[in-house]
Amino acid sequence: EAGVAQSPRYKIIEKRQSVAFWCNPISGHATLYWYQQILGQGPKLLIQFQNNGVVDDSQLPKDRFSAERLKGVDSTLKIQPAKLEDSAVYLCASSPHPETQYFGPGTRLLVL
Amino acid sequence: GQQVMQIPQYQHVQEGEDFTTYCNSSTTLSNIQWYKQRPGGHPVFLIQLVKSGEVKKQKRLTFQFGEAKKNSSLHITATQTTDVGTYFCAGRDYKLSFGAGTTVTVRA
């Protein structure tokens, strides 16, 4: 079974630029999550989708972050404009039900 | 809001020794999950505990959920170099919140 795929794996941008991350969950998994993991901290949930609907986006900084999962499969997370404090690993996870989560390799973002 | 605290933040262990890491929540949890993240890797699901006082074992790892469902522990016996990494607990009340993790290093 293929795992959760994410791209790009690494991204370096300057502050105020825009960036987008892509996630392809495990086939058949209805629930998809985006997490932000700052170095030395645990993952922080940004947004949770159930199929193509948003379940929880209470910790998503909506003034600069957006996410979509239009067809209930792939998802994109966008930051516009980026700030220095957005430097982190962005993890996508999927699950067949809202419990066990399977994480992708993450996208490491560095904002200069 | 819910807070999940883990102690210790760092654990340096001699190979072959045992250690325990603890997870405490500010709210009562419906379940708790444990994940392991190797250096440079991503979190990998280890186990989920649901019942009050539940104890589950995976080889040398023993997981326990407190009677009040507000705390949990992970005990590793006979630590090996393969146990290196950061162990996260994630507690669910109305949402899943991760602790900051316990980073384990092993002295051979």
Q: For residue range B9-62, what is the model confidence (pLDDT) as tens digits?
A: 999 999 999 999 999 999 999 999 999 999 989 999 999 999 999 999 999 999
Q: Give B90's pLDDT tier (boundaries 50, 70, 90).
A: very high
Task: Kindly give the pairing relationship between strand A88-95 and strand A102-103.
Answer: antiparallel
Q: Give A98's pLDDT tier (boundaries 50, 70, 90).
A: low
Angstrom distance (rounded) from CA B35 to CA A38: 17
The alpha-carbon gap from B57 to the nearest alpha carbon of chain A, in Å, equals 17
Cβ separation A45–B100 shorter than 8 A: no
Give the chain A residue nearest B89 (alpha carbons).
A42
Cβ separation B100–A43 shorter than 8 A: no
Q: Checking phi first, is residue B96 left (phi over 0); if not, alpha (psi -120 to 50) or beta?
A: beta
pLDDT for B25: 96
What value does the mean pLDDT of chain A take? 94
Question: Which of B48, B92, B96, B102 should be substituted to probe chain A, the one whose Cβ sees the most A Cβ atoms within 10 Å?
Answer: B96
pLDDT for A96: 87
Summarised one tens digit per residue, pLDDT across range A42-82 is 999 999 999 889 999 999 999 999 999 988 899 999 999 99
Cβ separation B48–A99 shorter than 8 A: yes
B100 close to B38: Cβ distance less than 8 angstroms: no
pLDDT for A1: 64
Cβ separation A42–B88 shorter than 8 A: yes
pLDDT for A26: 95
Summarised one tens digit per residue, pLDDT across range B71-80 is 999 999 999 9
